[in-house]
Amino acid sequence: MTSVLDLAPVVPVVVLDDAADAVPLARALVAGGLPAIEVTLRTPAALDAIRAIAEEVPQAVVGAGTVVSAAGVADAVAAGARFLVSPGWTGGLLDAMTASGLPFLPGVATASEVVALLERGIGEMKFFPAEAAGGTAYLKSLAGPLPGARFCPTGGISLASAPAYLALPNVGCVGGTWMLPPDALAARDWGRVEALAREAAGLR
């Protein structure tokens, strides 16, 4: 599979309470030009949502986010996830994600965490929580001493701030939720989600 960082400029970070919404939501995002979809394992509906998207929306590249344990890795793989994203990492979690055979983005917030991943041969990671952890200024300062690391910043990023992240040489894509406004999801306004996705897909 193409690197997760290169599938689209923006990876929607999805939290679903009802798995029945997964397929129409994924179809709207794909139609808008955002095929990589991170469904976070924060709700009881998450695994069923991943399974439904994997089975019914072949154009989507569905991944599991908020993966924080080896059990979560196993559940995500069984549901059909095609990539994994964690907010942080431990040695055990890293081993489980590596063993899964899927592409993964372990979360980092410090230079030491980046160095530790590079030491293990991992050069693609999630920078989280991006805005709270220093934003574009922090990532820019990492580019010189750590040129082998590429990031998907996630956490507090908006349509307005995304271009500044995407302009950085060490950023492949950003993660965000702004194309999934709660009122649009509550109303199941998939047309609005598609329009917002198309706007996000055009940021590159």
Q: Are 107 and 86 in contact (CB under 8 A)?
A: yes
pLDDT attached to residue 204 = 73
| The one catalytic residue among 113, 119, 124, 126 | 126
CA distance 108 to 124: 10
pLDDT attached to residue 171 = 98
pLDDT attached to residue 52 = 98
pLDDT attached to residue 132 = 98
| Distance (Å) of CA 26 to CA 37, 51, 112 | 7, 12, 36
140 labelled catalytic: no
pLDDT attached to residue 60 = 98
Q: Are 165 and 10 in contact (CB under 8 A)?
A: no
| The one catalytic residue among 38, 56, 113, 140 | 38
Q: Which residues contact 130 (CB under 8 A, 6 or more apart)?
A: 153, 154, 155, 156, 157, 165, 174
CA distance 189 to 186: 8
Q: How do residues 102-113 score in pLDDT, each as one tens digit?
A: 999 999 999 999
119 labelled catalytic: no
CA distance 65 to 76: 9
Would you give the end-to-end CA distance of the chain in angstroms?
A: 21
pLDDT attached to residue 84 = 98
Q: What is the pTM (predicted TM-score) of this model?
A: 0.97
pLDDT attached to residue 168 = 98
CA distance 92 to 202: 38
Please report, in tens digits, the pLDDT of each residue of the chain (204 residues total). 779 999 999 999 999 999 999 999 999 999 999 999 999 999 999 999 999 999 999 999 999 999 999 999 999 999 999 999 999 999 999 999 999 999 999 999 999 999 999 999 999 999 999 999 999 999 999 999 999 999 999 999 999 999 999 999 999 999 999 999 999 999 999 999 999 999 999 997
